[in-house]
Structure 1
Amino acid sequence: MDWEMVGYAAAALTMFGFLPQLVKMARTRSVDDVSLLMMIQMGIGVALWLAYGLHLNNSPLIVANVVSLWILALGIVVYFRYTTRRYFK
């Protein structure tokens, strides 16, 4: 078995795991059912995995976690965009 391919398959599933939630947040313009704490906690965990991947020089870990952090960062931006908008109407 090619474990590198298993790593890339796991990376693909992980890095795009939050994408459906991000799309739903943008489409509905609602973040009522989204936990900011969860996104921050997940971001810290992903950053630690990225550091570990960099230490090991492991491409699947590095790629997956860079993309995951980027998607989570977009999620946090969208979260604040639709949360603050609610308070200023």
Structure 2
Amino acid sequence: MDSATTIGLVAAFLTSVAFVPQTIRNFRRRQVGDLSFFTFGTFTAGVVAWLAYGLMIDSLPVIAANCFTLAVSLLNLWQMWAYRGNPAPSHDTPPTSG
């Protein structure tokens, strides 16, 4: 594997996992009121375009990264729909032990 492909795969991995912590946080809190639908929607459209580009140029790093990123992004959009009415947890109240 040449250095350009290696760098591409590393970059693809890093950018692909960037939203995974947010997705996990959404599942744990069941709340997404502080997220922007416009941001995730626009990001998802960009990922679809990158995936199409990767398919057109037959680039494994671009295709793999954007398939994974599209799945995570669609999951975030689904969470925004599914949890849309859930209230945000209060940060003013200290946690209770027990």
User: What TM-score results when the alignment is normalised by the length of structure 2?
Assistant: 0.82
Aligned residues: 86
Residue 85 of structure 1 deviates from its aligned partner by 5.3
Unmatched runs of 5 consecutive residues or more in structure 2: 88-98
Asked whether the equivalents of residues 17 and 69 of structure 2 are also in contact (C-alpha less than 8 Å), the reply is yes
Alignment of 1:65-84 (within 5 A): 65-84=66-85
Q: CA RMSD of the aligned region, Å? A: 1.3
Matched with 2:96 is: none
Structure 1 residue runs of 4 or more that deviate by more than 3 Å after TM superposition: none
The structure whose residues are more often helix, as a share, is 1
User: What TM-score results when the alignment is normalised by the length of structure 1?
Assistant: 0.90
Asked whether the equivalents of residues 31 and 86 of structure 2 are also in contact (C-alpha less than 8 Å), the reply is no
State how far apart, in whole Å, the 1-side matches of 2:34 and 2:25 are. 11
Alignment of 1:20-39 (within 5 A): 20-39=21-40
- Measured against aligned partners, the alpha-carbon deviations of 1:6-26 in whole angstroms (never above 9, x if no partner) come to 000000011111111111111
- Measured against aligned partners, the alpha-carbon deviations of 1:26-62 in whole angstroms (never above 9, x if no partner) come to 1111101111111100000011011111111000000
